[in-house]
Structure 1
Amino acid sequence: MIKHVVMWEFKDFAEGNEKEKNIELAAEKLLSLKDLVEEIKFLEVGKNINQSEAAYELVLITEFESLADLDQYQTHPEHEKVKDFIGKTAAKRVLVDYEK
């Protein structure tokens, strides 16, 4: 099993929206992928509640059967749409992929 974890910080204003609205939209778009991308075996999205300056604002945790399935997800047209929106609204991104 492959775990794919991504965290973002968002711009104060982008795509005509304040930060909080873009975080909400990004979360909704990410959650929709569970029903649109067959390769996803588990998907969870969380908005930060920690006040630490080290904390990121949104996290995505996904699981895939294999690296090949993760690669399929990465290039899936629905994922590309979400990636495009987040790319325009996020200020910073970190990720880790690991085998479980």
Structure 2
Amino acid sequence: MIKHIVMWKLKDYAEGNDKQFNANEIKIRLESLKDKITVIRKIEVGINNNAVNSYDVVLYSEFESYEDLDIYQKHPLHLEVAAFVGAVKVDRTCVDYEV
């Protein structure tokens, strides 16, 4: 199994919305992919409530294989969400690992 974890720092204001709105929008959009992209085994998005300067949104997802992760990352619906995230983020970090 492959675990795919991504964290984003968001702009204070982007795409006509504040950071909190965009964080919620990321959560809604990413979690909606579970029913649309069959290779996703699990997907969870958390919005950080910690006031310390850190990342704002985290994605935790699971895939059967690196091939499935690649299918997910290239899927048109994922690319649509990624375009939105790209417009509202300041920074991104990612870890993929096998268990």
TM-score, length-normalised on structure 1? 0.96
Ranges in structure 2 where 5+ consecutive residues have no aligned partner? none
Deviations 1:24-55 (A, max 9, x none): 111100110111110000111101122222x2
CA RMSD between the two structures: 0.7
Aligned to 2:75: 76
Query: Displacement, 1:67?
Result: 0.5
Distance 2:88 2:49 in 1: 20
Ranges in structure 1 where 5+ consecutive residues have no aligned partner? none
Equivalent position SS for 1:38: coil
Q: Which amino acid aligns with 1:97?
A: D
Aligned to 1:32: 32
Aligned to 2:5: 5
Aligned to 1:66: 65
Q: Which amino acid aligns with 2:44?
A: E
Equivalent position SS for 1:41: strand
Equivalent position SS for 2:58: strand
TM-score, length-normalised on structure 2? 0.97
Percent identical pairs in the alignment equals 49
